[in-house]
Amino acid sequence: MPEFCSAEREGRVLVVTINRPERMNALHSPAHFELSAIFDEFENDPDLWVAILTGEGDRAFSAGNDLRWQAEGGTRDRPETGFGGITTRFNRSKPLIAAVNGVAMGGGFELALASDLIIASENARFALPEPRVGLAALAGGLHRLPRMIPMKQAMGMILTGRHVLAEEAKSLGIVTEVAPPGKSVDVARRWAGEILQCSPLSIRASLQAVMQGLNHASVEEAMNAEYPAIVRMRESEDYIEGPKAFSEKRAPQWKGR
């Protein structure tokens, strides 16, 4: 059983909770490997279609790297899948929603940036403060943030380490929706429910096309690229079920195959 996080099935949704509130849900090597194993299982389980990642308590989603663990002589080992088991999981095929409660600092912010949607409680606070302690946001923050929001706004955060509250983060385009205090996971569940109304293979095809398409310089190149998930979608039973259900004026019965 995991010691530093938990994973609860809610139908086709997996809710993953970082459980180190005494350390503001900061991550150390054992937590990285636990989370990586959980997301490996999520990726390989055909019955799970969406994941939600959050932190225990209202104070923090994750304060990032556990510097105290490091100062105490702890190892800095990480899995190949990166910080929290997701920041370098570039082959991830299923939607991931970050439900941010409290602070998301440094690596914690990078976990959220590596997700597909960010639901932030009103008390959420985002920052990449690494330069203030002689470090840099090398778990994807320096590359993902400028791809998500205007460059000058991103550089304003990166070069100062300033804190951005939930409402400003939404206005910048970082946050999908701001939730009432303590309700980020509930709102994330609502978004997950809306995703589950869609064909899971269509969702995976869309996710792959978006993420891999960003590797191409032009829209033309992106549209002409090959995406295996689109092939799987077109060869699936769901590809037939969707139009059939629409013509019969009923809800589709998705099988994920």
Identity of residue 15: V
List the Cα angle 185/92/58 in 5-degree steps: 20
CA dihedral 176, 181, 186, 190 (to 10 degrees): -30
Cα–Cα distance for residue pair 211/90, rounded to 1 Å: 9
| Residue 90 in tokens | 């570039």
Is 167 catalytic? The answer is: no
Residue of 43, 56, 80, 130 marked active site = 130
Residue of 22, 43, 110, 235 marked active site = 110
List the Cα angle 161/166/170 in 5-degree steps: 100
Identity of residue 109: F
Is 226 catalytic? The answer is: no
Whether the Cβ atoms of residue 86 and residue 92 lie closer than 8 Å to each other: yes
Whether the Cβ atoms of residue 89 and residue 81 lie closer than 8 Å to each other: yes
β-pairing, 5-10 vs 13-18, is: antiparallel
Cα–Cα distance for residue pair 85/249, rounded to 1 Å: 42
Q: How many CB atoms lie within 10 A of CB 75?
A: 10
Whether the Cβ atoms of residue 84 and residue 34 lie closer than 8 Å to each other: no
β-pairing, 125-127 vs 164-165, is: antiparallel
Q: Annotated active-site positions, please?
A: 110, 130
